[in-house]
Structure 1
Amino acid sequence: MAMAPPSSMPSSPPRGTKRKADQIEAPRRIRALHEDVVNKIAAGEIIVAPVHALKELIENAVDAGSTSLEILVKDGGLKLLQITDNGCGINKDDMAILCERFTTSKLKAFEDLTSIGTYGFRGEALASISHIAHLTVTTKTVDSSCAWKAHYAGGKLAPAKPGQSADPKACAGRQGTQITVEDLFYNVPTRRRAFRSASEEYAKIADQVGRYAVHCKGVAFQCKKHGDAGAGIAVPATATVKDRIRIVHSSAIANELIEFELSNAQYGFKTEGLVSNVNYSGKRTALLLFINHRSVESNAIKRAVEQTYSTFLPKGGKPFVYLSLEIDPARVDVNVHPTKREVNFLNEEEIIELICDDIRTRLGKVDTSRTFMTQSLLSGGKTPSISKAATAPEESDVTATASKRPATAKAGTQRPYENNLIRTDAKSRKITAMLPQAQRASSPSRDHASDGMEYEYTDKESTICRLTTVKELRASVRANMHNELTDIFANHTFVGIVDERKRIAAMQGGVRLFLVDYGMVAAEYFYQLGLTDFGNFGTFRFNPPLSLRELLEIGVAQTKALEAEDLNFDWDEVATTVHAQLMSRREMLAEYFALEISEEGELLTLPLVMKGYMPSLGKLPNFLVRLGPHVDWTDEKGCFQSFLRELASFYVPEALPLAPVEGEAEDEGVAKRLDELHRAIQNKLFPAFKARLVATKALLKGTIEVANLKGLYRVFERC
């Protein structure tokens, strides 16, 4: 039979090339994958590396009530991974289905997931291992006269040698279970070749064993390499948590730990652990996190803890944190990750904030023994001096991160270069001190009075915000976070106000000087504060109440005076329309935003966003008027976002006129407001930015670097 020449035969286009209409093939039929393929895919998802197999085996051993675990590793676990425990063992009758998928003694119905209290629950660990390794199980229960040994392959019992029976065989053995995993990934060569070195895999195994050795009280752990005489990790059962950290990590960490304990009935959690104090500083964060006794990872908790410690540790310094978090099982979803590395739980943001606030408080209480290397650029000194902190410093007075040194540093061991000397005290000489006396925004002779406010505390309990729209707005803030700018604000030193009218201040971050539009930053900060405290605001209460309609009419008159005269707009209807809108929504305004309006149309309260800081009431009429056209009342998410933006704009410090030049009379009212503004910015706003601000990418427009000490030195070195 004659064949068509190659040029006339149809050919499929190369992969990745768009096919023409006449080249589209008929749809392929959908078929069920073979069971062996399904099992290997599942095994590849659950057992990614030897350390994941070991984690599952450790959890099974602890679930079995073991008080002693012995782990043997060869070639990073790829050649041999053996774990021996003294737990309750496995019944001989259960060994036939031991390695089948979804066989477990810890779960009966799907509803049991809502109250799971054990490590394992899905019955996939041994099944997955048996599909990608040679698995041997030797076990003995307390009522058995001997131990039983069985081999598994592909989830089923397999003979030890060809021609032999696959049934479990009697053998000598001690109470408990020994599981031996050999030739891991022998039938997945691509996965096996991906591992770079046995020592790297053993380091991961040692880290995982160390985590459980610290957490599992009353359980002895021993981990060693095959062929080594001594164990790499050996923790006795009687060791305390601090002693376990000393054995697994180091005495340098164990000697600098403070106990941590916190509980909250509202969110249904309690936590305890050990966290490093301010004398310890590592190169990377060591976070040992256990949620309901399961070792998990949480980037949200890690970032929050690092942010908390950034105020206390030197630049680049990281803490050691061991946290055991117990949450009501009904609030935790454990089945969200194939390797159970992550879990989801309710009120995550609120719980993290409570934990970090408590850690911050504890660090402040014990921060009495550090030594500081201090040097002020403006004082004219050339050599650093060492001073001992006698009392715990205020949060706003914590020294800049690059200047801190450990307490064991010796004076005069190394002289720092001048281009690394930075400002270390927020109370040091300010920019305004360099200006002529007549041009200063405030006179140093004026007394700094208190804010003059009286506060009442009520028994009202805080409410839990379960609104999806608010959670989405909070997540949007985190998604737009600029990490470097956030760190700069978290570690900055306030220098001084540059221009009150343009709302510009100077702050120092390390060896760099920045000009900041504090109006823009304050608007973003108060917006974030509004999202955090949504539904739980304090209140300013007016006595006597103010007429809402009169305030709106004043606001309309102010707005009209600023607009163009030829603007074709019916100003007479604005106050009436906005008044009707606010009156119709006054219940929602009172519940969510603490803005109370009486039935008679009187303004009773305003939301208190920051204690000790009073916004300019001169902006109140304009704020109320803008609530009409500038708030999206038709959409829930848009309403919350736009209202909080307007509230944040109301709280932004007002722009005041500059101080009079020499020869002009000074307005006492304006001078007083300038003094109050300076105190609020320096003592309230910038410390608040340092403690809680999540700097978003939009704030890059309001932050300009004007000087870099190292860059200036390079310039002058060329002169």
Structure 2
Amino acid sequence: MTEEMEVISPSPRGTKRKGDESLRLPAPRRIKALAQDVVNKIAAGEIIVAPVHALKELIENAVDAGSTALEVVIKDGGLKLLQITDNGHGINKEDLPILCERFTTSKLKAFEDLTSIGTYGFRGEALASISHIAHLSVTTRTKESSCAWRANFADGKLASPKPGQNAEPKPIAGRPGTQITVEDLFYNVPSRRRAFRSASEEYTKILDLVGRYAVHCSGVSFSCKKHGASTTDVSVPVAAGTVDRIRQIHGSSVANELVALKAENDRWGFKCDGWISNANYSGKRTALLLFINHRSVESQAIKKSMEQTYAAFLPKGGHPFVYLSLDIEPQRVDVNVHPTKREVHFLNEDEIIAIICDEIRNSLSKVDTSRSFMTQSLLSNRPMVPLATPIKQITPGTPDSIDTTDRSVSKSAPKPTAKTRNDGNLVRTDASARKITSMLQSHPSADGAPTETENMDYEYTEKEASVCRLTSIKDLRAEVRDAMHNELTDIISTHTFVGIVDEQKRIAAIQGGVKLFLVDYGMLCNEYFYQVGLTDFANYGSIRFNPPLSLHDLLKIAAEREKKNAGDAADEVDWDEVVSSVSDQLINRRVLLLEYFSLEITEEGDLCSIPLLVKSYTPSLAKLPRFLLRLGPYVDWDSEKACFQSFLRELASFYVPESLPLPPAVDDSGKGKGKVVEEDAEIAKRREKVRRAVEYVIFPACKARLVATRGLLKGVVEVANLKGLYRVFERC
């Protein structure tokens, strides 16, 4: 039986199925040119990504204008307000109408100029982009102009400041230079504005950017603060060197461990200058300040190479600080590869990085053996004390014959060998060592401790310390912390007292490291006692008078002194009324004075006690009448914060040691007989008390707890540097 099978032949290969002819294809879309407003906003979004990018463009323009001082003011991280003021050459009034048009620049004339660009800005897009996404105003004045001109811009063109007003620039009073104010950044790009998480994060980025340019731009002062703040977050003077600028921005822990770096190569056409941290410094993350042809840029290749180089010198997890300034021949650099100019490309990148890393390796090898480690030694009959034990101590330039390869800590310690002492690095660290004052006068006691010369008995009470929850005091404490100067605080906290130089001008000498400083101890004491008043607020001791003193009599004594000092103007004041007014004022506020300041005044007008700020030191009671008199007109009794601040300032001024006349010198009027003029016994006694208090009470107290503020810089002068002096003597 046979079955018939139906065989279906395959369809020929390469054929296509027919489409559904019932479906109609959509008509092709026409290509249209975008509106110019959309084009400008797209370009602005590429160049100005965040407030920090807008500020970067403005800083670079200001430096290009020959400025020597830049002031930056920020509000809400730069989104609400971003203002930069410089003292450069300004902008001509005739150029203001096209200032914010795209591709208007004074840096380029032809495309070929890009191969030799030597300025920060060059494309003329920064101000144009900002004007499309923010409210922009420019105030500028050139040296030749008799007044400044202010112009407002919107969408790249001049705009009127208010509806109905003329858009032309208006003459106003102003100083030479340019001030650019950017308000409401991204006001018309809500999606971009909502993308920013917090204003503080953006402000941190701005501080980092300002700090970078403040380190690099020598000869230019920088300041940056929040709008409305009384203190600056970044403040770098114009005369500061590179290391001092790094110290101001990144702290003394970095600046004290820096090593200079220099490298150059004619074949690859580059020069390199910078400062790098040595092996004693180790940070949580790599801090790379990279400038190529003076433009702040980023380079992952350079950063990765730096970290690999330092890996042989730092402990695991440690990272370096590197400030690097590369000067590369302009024709080898392409600066126009990124909209924000954050990155640049240059020829022979690998070769240049290799040379720099080799130089870093050589520099670190020279100073690596000076590293110090903390060990503990158990001494007989003594408690365990930490000893700073340098493994090896050499200075750069020591012959390479010294073995630096053995870093093992498990090997036995080498036998002590005689080493040549480098007197130029000697630092006095023991305050009990012989000082210059020992050659001039005897110590008050054999052990160097002050002798108690004042007839005072101390009585201790069981009163518990109260916790201050007043917002005004917390704000005043925060202001002190914000005004802290790190370097000066380090000097005072580690200083060695040398001696009093001038008791009339209140100048003392201290040693910090290998440097000698003259300090206005009147200014130093004023700040110290003010800070004691803040930290111990409402917890002072008291100096009690037995019997109590008459407040009215004290005020009357002060009024007579003021009347005598006022001269002819004294007759214009009714001093009896002043005494009566201040007396009534203090008596009426006696409860507040006793609760917060331990200043006890009875209802009858008797002064029973005054605040005790520091034990073993009593202020000059001759200043008490004037202190009480000044509490009337010089204390703001109407505002809580101002009241506390002004009262504590007056109290600190009262506690400052008084200015004493210079000690008597030899009288040469007797034709060579050289008789010594005898000093008044009371003044001599007070001079001895002041000397002991300054050396043994006040300066040790400042060393322990003073927060040195920037205002104290006016009262500290460096007069000698031991290393510098040795270099001078070596030439002689």
TM-score with structure 1 setting the length = 0.50
Is the 1:312–1:398 contact (alpha carbons within 8 Å) kept by the matching residues of 2?
Answer: no
Following superposition, the deviation at residue 395 of structure 1 comes to 8.6
Partner residue, 1:50: 51
User: For the residues of structure 1 that align with 2:190 and 2:393, how far apart are their CA atoms?
Assistant: 61
Following superposition, the deviation at residue 242 of structure 1 comes to 0.2
Partner residue, 2:340: 339
Q: Deviations over 1:289-334 (max 9, x none)?
A: 0000000000000000000001000111000000000000010000
3-state DSSP of counterpart to 1:164: coil
Is the 2:276–2:322 contact (alpha carbons within 8 Å) kept by the matching residues of 1?
Answer: yes
For 1:256, the aligned partner's letter is E
Following superposition, the deviation at residue 25 of structure 1 comes to 2.8
1:316 correspondence with 2:313: no
User: For the residues of structure 2 that align with 1:267 and 1:84, how far apart are their CA atoms?
Assistant: 39
Following superposition, the deviation at residue 368 of structure 1 comes to 1.4
1:180 correspondence with 2:191: no
Is the 1:290–1:324 contact (alpha carbons within 8 Å) kept by the matching residues of 2?
Answer: yes
Following superposition, the deviation at residue 396 of structure 1 comes to 7.1
Is the 1:291–1:324 contact (alpha carbons within 8 Å) kept by the matching residues of 2?
Answer: yes
Is the 2:369–2:404 contact (alpha carbons within 8 Å) kept by the matching residues of 1?
Answer: no
Q: Deviations over 1:173-210 (max 9, x none)?
A: 00000000000000000000011111100000000000
User: For the residues of structure 1 that align with 2:353 and 2:328, how far apart are their CA atoms?
Assistant: 12
Following superposition, the deviation at residue 30 of structure 1 comes to 1.1
User: For the residues of structure 1 that align with 2:403 and 2:297, how far apart are their CA atoms?
Assistant: 34
Quickly say closer, same or farther: Cα 1:252–1:150, change in 2 above 3 A. Answer: same
User: For the residues of structure 2 that align with 1:110 and 1:154, how far apart are their CA atoms?
Assistant: 26
Following superposition, the deviation at residue 26 of structure 1 comes to 3.0
Aligned counterpart in structure 2 of residue 390 of structure 1, from 379, 389, 392: 392
User: For the residues of structure 2 that align with 1:369 and 1:359, how far apart are their CA atoms?
Assistant: 16
Q: Deviations over 1:557-579 (max 9, x none)?
A: xxxxxxxxxxxxxxxxxxxxxxx
For 2:202, the aligned partner's letter is E
3-state DSSP of counterpart to 2:203: helix
Map 1:216-295 to 2 at 5 A.
216-295=217-296
Map 1:585-604 to 2 at 5 A.
none
User: For the residues of structure 2 that align with 1:88 and 1:209, how far apart are their CA atoms?
Assistant: 21
1:60 correspondence with 2:68: no
User: For the residues of structure 2 that align with 1:177 and 1:370, how far apart are their CA atoms?
Assistant: 49
For 2:72, the aligned partner's letter is I
User: For the residues of structure 2 that align with 1:49 and 1:151, how far apart are their CA atoms?
Assistant: 22
User: For the residues of structure 2 that align with 1:229 and 1:41, how far apart are their CA atoms?
Assistant: 38
Following superposition, the deviation at residue 222 of structure 1 comes to 0.6
Alpha carbon RMSD of aligned pairs, Å? Answer: 2.2
3-state DSSP of counterpart to 1:357: helix
Quickly say closer, same or farther: Cα 1:223–1:387, change in 2 above 3 A. Answer: closer
User: For the residues of structure 2 that align with 1:399 and 1:186, how far apart are their CA atoms?
Assistant: 62
Partner residue, 1:440: none
User: For the residues of structure 1 that align with 2:407 and 2:202, how far apart are their CA atoms?
Assistant: 41
For 1:295, the aligned partner's letter is S
The percentage of aligned residue pairs carrying the same residue is: 72
Quickly say closer, same or farther: Cα 1:222–1:44, change in 2 above 3 A. Answer: same
User: For the residues of structure 1 that align with 2:327 and 2:372, how far apart are their CA atoms?
Assistant: 37
Following superposition, the deviation at residue 371 of structure 1 comes to 3.9
User: For the residues of structure 2 that align with 1:275 and 1:26, how far apart are their CA atoms?
Assistant: 64
Partner residue, 2:170: 169
Partner residue, 1:90: 91
User: For the residues of structure 2 that align with 1:176 and 1:139, how far apart are their CA atoms?
Assistant: 6
Quickly say closer, same or farther: Cα 1:144–1:361, change in 2 above 3 A. Answer: same
Q: Deviations over 1:36-95 (max 9, x none)?
A: 000000000000000000000000000000000000000000000000000000000000
For 2:283, the aligned partner's letter is G
1:148 correspondence with 2:149: yes
Following superposition, the deviation at residue 114 of structure 1 comes to 0.4
Count of aligned residue pairs for this structure pair? 373
Is the 1:311–1:398 contact (alpha carbons within 8 Å) kept by the matching residues of 2?
Answer: no
Map 1:434-445 to 2 at 5 A.
none
1:210 correspondence with 2:211: yes
For 2:392, the aligned partner's letter is A
TM-score with structure 2 setting the length = 0.49
Q: Deviations over 1:7-29 (max 9, x none)?
A: xxxxxxxxxxxx99957533211
User: For the residues of structure 2 that align with 1:267 and 1:331, how far apart are their CA atoms?
Assistant: 9
Map 1:404-483 to 2 at 5 A.
none
Partner residue, 1:103: 104
Structure 2 gap segments, 5+ residues each: 1-18, 376-386, 395-401, 410-732
3-state DSSP of counterpart to 1:274: strand
Following superposition, the deviation at residue 100 of structure 1 comes to 0.2
For 2:236, the aligned partner's letter is V
Partner residue, 1:36: 37
Quickly say closer, same or farther: Cα 1:399–1:51, change in 2 above 3 A. Answer: farther
Partner residue, 1:365: 366
User: For the residues of structure 1 that align with 2:229 and 2:200, how far apart are their CA atoms?
Assistant: 14
Partner residue, 2:194: 193
3-state DSSP of counterpart to 2:369: coil
Quickly say closer, same or farther: Cα 1:399–1:320, change in 2 above 3 A. Answer: farther
For 1:314, the aligned partner's letter is P
User: For the residues of structure 2 that align with 1:286 and 1:340, how far apart are their CA atoms?
Assistant: 20
